[in-house]
Amino acid sequence: MNSENFTLSERIVSTSYIRQGSQARRSHEQLIRHLLEQGKCPEEGWSESTIELFLHELAVMDSNNFLGNCGVGEREGRVVSSLVARRHYRLIHGIGRSGDIAAIQPKAAGSSLLNKLTNSVVLDILKRTGVRSVVSCFVVPMATGMSLTLCFLTLRHRRPKAQYIIWPRIDQKSCFKAMITAGFEPVVVENILEGDELRTDLEAVEHKIKDLGAESILCVHSTTSCFAPRVPDRLEELASLCAKYNIPHIVNNAYGVQSSKCMHLIEQGARVGRIDAFVQSLDKNFMVPVGGAIIAGFDEAFIQEISKMYPGRASASPSLDVLITLLSLGASGYKKLLSERKEIYFFLAQELKSLASAHGERLLHTPHNPISLAMSLDGLQADSDKAVTQLGSMLFTRQVSGARVVPLGKEQTISGHTFHGFMSHSEIYPCPYLNAASAVGITQEDVRLCIKRLDKCLKTLRKELNVAKSSSPVRANELRFQGTCSFTSLVLFPLL
Amino acid sequence: MNSENFTLSERIVSTSYIRQGSQARRSHEQLIRHLLEQGKCPEEGWSESTIELFLHELAVMDSNNFLGNCGVGEREGRVVSSLVARRHYRLIHGIGRSGDIAAIQPKAAGSSLLNKLTNSVVLDILKRTGVRSVVSCFVVPMATGMSLTLCFLTLRHRRPKAQYIIWPRIDQKSCFKAMITAGFEPVVVENILEGDELRTDLEAVEHKIKDLGAESILCVHSTTSCFAPRVPDRLEELASLCAKYNIPHIVNNAYGVQSSKCMHLIEQGARVGRIDAFVQSLDKNFMVPVGGAIIAGFDEAFIQEISKMYPGRASASPSLDVLITLLSLGASGYKKLLSERKEIYFFLAQELKSLASAHGERLLHTPHNPISLAMSLDGLQADSDKAVTQLGSMLFTRQVSGARVVPLGKEQTISGHTFHGFMSHSEIYPCPYLNAASAVGITQEDVRLCIKRLDKCLKTLRKELNVAKSSSPVRANELRFQGTCSFTSLVLFPLL
Amino acid sequence: MNSENFTLSERIVSTSYIRQGSQARRSHEQLIRHLLEQGKCPEEGWSESTIELFLHELAVMDSNNFLGNCGVGEREGRVVSSLVARRHYRLIHGIGRSGDIAAIQPKAAGSSLLNKLTNSVVLDILKRTGVRSVVSCFVVPMATGMSLTLCFLTLRHRRPKAQYIIWPRIDQKSCFKAMITAGFEPVVVENILEGDELRTDLEAVEHKIKDLGAESILCVHSTTSCFAPRVPDRLEELASLCAKYNIPHIVNNAYGVQSSKCMHLIEQGARVGRIDAFVQSLDKNFMVPVGGAIIAGFDEAFIQEISKMYPGRASASPSLDVLITLLSLGASGYKKLLSERKEIYFFLAQELKSLASAHGERLLHTPHNPISLAMSLDGLQADSDKAVTQLGSMLFTRQVSGARVVPLGKEQTISGHTFHGFMSHSEIYPCPYLNAASAVGITQEDVRLCIKRLDKCLKTLRKELNVAKSSSPVRANELRFQGTCSFTSLVLFPLL
Amino acid sequence: MNSENFTLSERIVSTSYIRQGSQARRSHEQLIRHLLEQGKCPEEGWSESTIELFLHELAVMDSNNFLGNCGVGEREGRVVSSLVARRHYRLIHGIGRSGDIAAIQPKAAGSSLLNKLTNSVVLDILKRTGVRSVVSCFVVPMATGMSLTLCFLTLRHRRPKAQYIIWPRIDQKSCFKAMITAGFEPVVVENILEGDELRTDLEAVEHKIKDLGAESILCVHSTTSCFAPRVPDRLEELASLCAKYNIPHIVNNAYGVQSSKCMHLIEQGARVGRIDAFVQSLDKNFMVPVGGAIIAGFDEAFIQEISKMYPGRASASPSLDVLITLLSLGASGYKKLLSERKEIYFFLAQELKSLASAHGERLLHTPHNPISLAMSLDGLQADSDKAVTQLGSMLFTRQVSGARVVPLGKEQTISGHTFHGFMSHSEIYPCPYLNAASAVGITQEDVRLCIKRLDKCLKTLRKELNVAKSSSPVRANELRFQGTCSFTSLVLFPLL
């Protein structure tokens, strides 16, 4: 309420109480002022009450909520379902304009403010989590993969002759498709096995650059966060190569914001060499629903160029989710989540190690991967081809989600390219294994339950295998029907 | 509640009342059954109560809501803010998988069901609104422009040598950028002036095809819904040309679902010639927040190919919005909205006509445009260059949104291409004008207020112009400062 | 947002757009100003957006929402469930103080404002609906019956020797219990049959007064809204009697606000005689959830005395509901609902009349009852004692709610007093009948469905009765088991 | 969804995923089954998802949500505002029937179930918190005071000749008014000073009983939870006296559920003597909004008699709040809250003790009061009459809520009875003091802030007093105007 309304209220309820109420309102306004002034994530999280008040304030600034508005255009922010209006806090106009997803909308001052503030708060968080020299970023309501595609499409205009993208192999479909969709030819560089870890083959990368010629290469497309035993790419060295050969460098930092190691790699890469943009998922890093990504970089002009490539207005939903989330956590709340994640990573490693040795397996030694862990499954593979995938299906049925089993020797063809040893990031990985990750938001209880159920599954599987071995071959064939999942789901499962 | 729980309830509350309650529940289940069975938009709308019950049911089927789930993956649908969880009805996993935006997610049976049903219900609506032979479609959480880009990127793989897109001119930035972003060269075909209308120059199109060679042309990119005095492209003839020369044809049907004429054009085009895909906006046709589009077509395989080009999972938010909206309206409710829109189109035309003649202007005769109307502004242009744009800014300030003024002779360069007479879809349009549209959701009150305010603005402007004319030239120059909007907003305004 | 924050916003989003947004905000503030200034129901309803903004503003004024509050009392408005906090808009402190339910709470300026405004808006509505000279009222979160009890308890302190309450009979349990609970002895005055109508026996009332002595009588307790064929009491005459003998007069106006006739009776009664307080239900008159009542009167001091009798703080929930409802309807919206109700009353009367004559029954002639109607059931009674109650149970099973069947000769003892012909408000009513009412919020569809189902039930029943008659007496006895409701529910049903 | 709908879903999304979803649904149903079967508070809290699913299920069982319902009654659960419908989860019919607030409603099976389950869950909690032999209880949407009134009114019918209520003094207005409102004469028994504590004067009670004659006494009205230095009444002894003289005994256990001591007293009292009913607040014990109470007892018939005294249906809002809260906490969550409260009680005591000694005051020794503490304010009183009340107002302004200052020698007349030394529960208490309480939901941060601010206030006040003393008497008089609160609020404050 404005001061006039407070004064009127004093006539109804006693002056001193209303004044206290009005002071209390001011403390909410104060928080909003800081946000508007500094464009940074507040140190302490806001209460739901402040957040909703703020969103209400934004909404009344959009023309669809003007009390006296009349609309005769083709896009007036009309909403017919009140369920829908309500769940978007009546912020209907989305973000951006036809020319630029980061632009301001005349019809929607509130939504425009939301968009600008979100990008600004997110930039602050990228700085705080380790990429201190990041200069610009924006939230885009697309998957990480599609956002990478947008980056590649933008680079095309700068490098019209380029047709290749150099890509240290990572077995995740959308990364690969991001390049295919943009119309480029991925040049897959196999990883090197160092101990248990799979790491970037820098020599092979440089070799390819020389081979193909720098001008025919659109960019190097590297990856930080990934499933063990692969580890983040050697970003510093790749960035140096890119600088040396004057080749753009796009980093897929999918869920790397949650790890200080991944963020440090990016900061270092940009410092010593060249990184043009790095892309990260909203949902995997900020515990919001699937659907958004952040495109960030060190050169404001280039990041703006990307934002101007998106034709049309876009959904404000992912921006709204991440803004609500960061305001409610505050920078300190988010940091706390990250440090809990780190602690649980060590707890998970320890528990997996014990479990592995109890079953005659071992925890693979992958110290460079700060999030994902892998435990060998040699014993299962020895007995039966199907046992490894069956373990996956058993875990799925027992509500262990996210544990991923990787059998040996899978082949998969994606858009014409055949990957040998698919899922393992390598044609030559020596053993099958199971992945588990400590991602932001995980709890000790998650780990405890997972270990308990995994232990049970391994025991059950062992028993079944022994029975199968000691009986007729027919029974062994039937093994796969003993789970509650059909074979179809087994096939689908590993590609989660 | 299941039957066991109903039986238990009978011990607490009398049997006959509980039985009636359980019967009542069944009537909600019945509605859900019809939806699942037929995959069509229900004839009558559902109550909010049924919709929310249904969404709750979907949510409990997703793994993030399993009571006993433990997650050790990097993407577990965890949400830290309860405001965020609630506004998405706890449906967190988005839609699709890394390989295909229309695919089913093992972790999220409920979200997968939502995605499939939405696409199915939307397909039903496309059929009911006129494109009876449409075969397949899917909702994608991207702007219409970006969705067109995705179509073009998909076609690239079918036509690797093509570099041109033939495009009958329409002055809307995102349509143009959709082609640029995809990496193609738009071949702009100027429109022909027929009476007041701007229509497709079919000869010029065929000429260009012959000129460039069919195999170098990615596709023809045509448009239905547009601002008068441009009218929908001659789809039948274009489709026939495409068939004749074996060139793909992509239709931008941005807000055409709401018009039986636009839908009829597409149906006819596909019947007599070739249309590969047609793309429409969710927000403009279904009164939901900005952010989604529908990609539809007549060949299931091609539509699937497009859906497989989106790398990564995507936001379910636009799908959820349109599903809620269509379930709450029902097919009959949606039809009612469309017929109201049509009636108000005639009302708006009549009112504009009267107003125009009162001010010495006229309503342009554009019978082929079923949504947008234009009224000449010859009088203003005669007096001053600035007067036309000032009218736009005056309307904006008076909360008339969507009324668009188009001055003569504007030039605009977009991605290297210069448009003469920008905003008017033509280099030669003879008069400046003002647009108003009757789009779905418009009310009679909108029209009445708009006409009233427009009348006032025109009178005020006339008076100011007269004063300016009769006084020193300095005053005339200052004219633009008399409105409350700065010049910056005047410049921004026409590009709305 | 305050002006400082708007200024900061102008640095982020363009000045002119933010200014327009800030103007838009002012129009919401303007509505709130009118409410605070005048304390009246706004003529036009508010949008949900304004209502929620207002409630948010109230909530931040309560100490439980102060950002820096620390609480060391036993009642601090703490809420542990966010579902609960949210559904009360974080207004937790209830209304009133230990000494007075209408008092202001130091800890809760916002809730206090809510309470005061609700009472003020409701008072305005009572005036507008016909009791123009009402002086004071307050909302109390108790049933109408319990609110009457509170009035009687208050009167006790004014008339310590009184032990009787004179009460023209109305067969509704809670009215009777209201007197019993307050510790008084109801003096039941039987109604007179005039035509089909049951009306107040004024002579009997005066006789009782003389008989018992005015000072031994606490008050006359009269009723407006009631089930036909009873009609509203002769308030003018009763009020005159009360004035003459100096006896307080409390009117049960349960659902009478919706009828201009009932309100007129109260206005007239107060004008020509004496009415101390009149009590009405919130849910029945304002379409809100069950649980609140309004106690109103013509002497501010007496109404305050009642409000000071409620020991303790009380739920703000009914106040909040009625305030939201009246703000969203506006005075004009509420009036519209009332005039629709009236129209449907005539429609219902007509339909019932036709139906009655088709079944050899008749619509009872009760022109003084503006809400409830009755149709005779002579035919059913003639055939079987059970048939009338079975009709009730059949209607219940067929989801016709609120239709009430009244058999002949029922006896019921409540708190020691035996009512002959219970439910019919009379010991001598000549025929059984069925009630239907046109209450606020009823739709034409309700009437149509009711008539259709009632017609079917009567036909089915007639057929069953004919079969029963023509077969053995055993079958006739079993009749009652043919419905889906058990006998228990039959017995319960008539007391709805 | 029912099994048929799950089967249909399997055709859309793969069988194994749907089956897992359906199993997940079953785990929610399982929780509901336990609740229905046992009627007890679940040990572990439910997720919001389960709670909302359950409330949805209840709502669809109420006739106002039947899809095919037609209503022709005067109370059909119609709701015109969707904001209102939503906030009540569409449970509109309230609880109870005209004859009995605990009765089942034919029109509202879901609301009836809610009501029964709430009473059952609350009974379970009363047992678990210490009154193991409690037999029956019900939630009533009225203040504790009004609920006590209802108990007294019920007793009147059992003891028609009684006119007195014996009441060991407690200075809380609503307790006193509860008796006045019911129409009885409170017989105030002054407390005895034992050390710092004020305790029940048993001899005086027995003396009064003999004096007045047992049959003229309606009941003894005792109190557990109260502000220190008063302590809970000697319930065992009072209960024995009541048994001995055959006098009913009603206990005001306002916020005593949170203290095992208070609950133990009631259990013991009922075991060794007579307790007819004990009444407790919902908001103060269960962290829900103000507005409800629980009436409980050891004789089912008597508790039912009370529930049958409430004339009319009542608001379900408090029942809904407490049910949601207890389901979301679970018994273990509630117990955890209580043990935290107890810990913070000791922390608060320690902190107050330190603070007191630093200011030359002392923490009063009141070991029998488990919730409230008192610190002497001798120093302030010595200097100025106003200083004590000014401290109260200073704390209020500094957002310390609930800290209550008690000056010496206040007089207050309530309903004709004059209390000397009002607020201190005694005519003779030797020193002024300040109260602070550790009530359920309090945090360590509350205590820390309170102590810090209190310290500051005491220092400021001391300084002002010294200045005042050393200057002219005029300045001393003006002291009260130096705070931001007006004198009016000072007067209001102490009666909080």
B118 touches chain D (CB under 8 A): no
D144, D287, D403 ranked by CB distance to C80: nearest: D287
D277 Cβ contact partners less than 8 Å away, ≥ 6 residues apart:
D151, D250, D251, D295, D296, D297, D302, D303, D306
User: Is the model's pLDDT at D180 over the cut of 80?
Assistant: yes
Mean pLDDT of B427-448: 97
| Cβ–Cβ under 8 Å, residues A393 and A495 | no
B142's tokens? 């991207």
CB contact A315 to B (< 8 Å):
yes
Per-residue exposure over B306-321, b if at least 16 CB sit within 10 Å of its own CB, e if not = bbbbbbbbbbbbbbbb
| % of chain B exceeding 70 in pLDDT | 94
Residue of C nearest to A63 (CA): C21
Token readout for A58 is 């934004």
* Greater model confidence, B476 or B121: B121
* Placement of tokens 């609700």 in the chain: C118
Please give the pLDDT value at position B274. 98
ipTM metric: 0.94
Q: What is the residue-averaged pLDDT of chain C?
A: 93
Report whether pLDDT(B323) > 90. yes
Distance to chain D for B78, nearest Cα, Å: 14
CA of C486 to nearest chain B CA: how many angstroms apart?
7
Interface contact C49-A37, CB threshold 8 A: no
- H-helix or E-strand spanning residue D472: none
For residues D332-342, average pLDDT = 98
Let me know: does B108 contact B63? Beta carbons within 8 Å. yes
Compare CB distances from C14 to B14, B82, B488 and report the shortest one's residue. Answer: B488
* pLDDT over threshold 80, residue B4: yes
Determine, for residues B488 and C16 on separate chains, whether the beta-carbon distance falls below 8 Å: yes
Strand pairing of C411-414 and D192-194?
unpaired
The helix (H) or strand (E) run that includes residue A484 is: none
C492 pLDDT higher than 50: no
Q: Is the pLDDT of residue D486 over 80?
A: no
Alpha-carbon gap: C313 to the closest alpha carbon of chain D (Å) = 6
Shortest distance, CA B385 to any CA of chain C (angstroms): 22
Cross-chain residue pair C62–A21, CB shorter than 8 Å: yes
Neighbours of chain A (3+ CB pairs under 8 A): B, C, D
Pairing of strands A217-223, A164-168: parallel
Helix (H, G, I), strand (E, B) or coil at C197: strand
Binding-face residues of D in 223-262 toward B, CB within 8 A: none
Q: What are A279's two structure tokens?
A: 């892309």
Instruction: With beta carbons less than 8 A apart as the criterion, state whether B222 and B273 touch.
Output: no
Identify the pLDDT of residue B158. 96
**Is pLDDT of C231 > 70?**
yes
Q: What is the mean pLDDT of residues B191-219?
A: 98
CA dist D453 and D449 (Å) reads: 6
According to DSSP, the residues that pair with B219 across neighbouring strands are: B165
**In this complex, which of D79, D106, D404 lies closest to C287 when CB atoms are compared?**
D79
Q: What is the pLDDT of residue D383?
A: 61
The pLDDT assigned to C465 comes to 81
Residue B419: per-residue pLDDT: 97
**What is the average pLDDT score of chain D?**
93
pLDDT averaged over 10-residue windows placed end to end, chain A, 496 residues: 92 93 94 97 96 95 95 96 97 92 94 97 98 98 97 97 98 96 98 98 98 98 98 98 98 98 98 98 98 98 97 96 98 98 98 97 98 95 78 94 93 94 96 97 97 97 82 45 31 32
Q: Across residues C330-348, what is the average pLDDT?
A: 98
Residue D163 CA, chain-centre distance (Å), reads 27
The verdict on whether residue B404 carries a ligand-binding annotation is no
Read off the pLDDT of each residue in B206-225 and give the average, rounded to a whole number.
98
Q: How sure is the predictor about D477, in pLDDT bands with cuts at 50, 70 and 90?
A: very low
* HSE value, Cβ hemisphere, 13 Å, CA-based, for A152: 35
> Tell me, what amino acid is at A250?
I
Find chains touching chain D: ≥3 CB pairs under 8 Å.
A, B, C
Residues of chain C in contact with residue B19, where contact means CB-CB under 8 angstroms, are: 484
Distance to chain A for D14, nearest Cα, Å: 8
What's the pLDDT at D343?
Answer: 98
E strand or H helix that includes residue C441: none
Contacts 24+ apart (CB under 8 A), B488-493: B488/C14, B488/C16, B489/A106, B489/B393, B489/B396, B489/C14, B489/C16, B489/C17, B490/B389, B490/B390, B490/B392, B490/B393, B492/A106, B492/C14, B493/A106, B493/B389, B493/B392, B493/B393, B493/B396
Rounded CA separation A285/A318 (Å): 13
Considering only CA atoms, which of C468, C439, C178 is closest in space to residue C295?
Answer: C178
Instruction: Provide the total of helices (H) and of strands (E) in chain B, helices listed first.
Output: 18, 16
Mean pLDDT of B389-413: 94
Residues D360-374 have a mean pLDDT of 98
Mean pLDDT, chain B, as a whole number? 93
Q: What is the token pair recorded at C402? A: 């609120």
**How many CB pairs (< 8 A) connect A and D?**
30
> Which candidate from D92, D325, D447 shows the least CB-CB separation from C80?
D325
pLDDT at C409: 87
Contact in structure between C92 and D419 (CB atoms under 8 Å): no
* Model confidence band, residue B412 (pLDDT cutoffs 50, 70, 90): very high
Residue C491 reports pLDDT greater than 60: no
> Among A410-414, C476-480, D56-60, D366-370, which is the least confidently predicted range?
C476-480
- A321: nearest CA partner in chain B: B84
Q: Which tokens hold the place of B268?
A: 């006819």
Q: What are phi and psi of B290, to 5 degrees?
A: -55, 140
- Which distant-in-sequence residues (6+ apart) come within 8 Å of D96 by Cβ? D102, D103, D105, D115, D307, D310, D312, D313, D314
- Name the residue among B364, B360, B351 with its Cα closest to residue B430: B364
pLDDT at position C466: 81
CA distances from D334 to B202, C388, D43, D293, D433 (A): 76, 51, 10, 18, 32
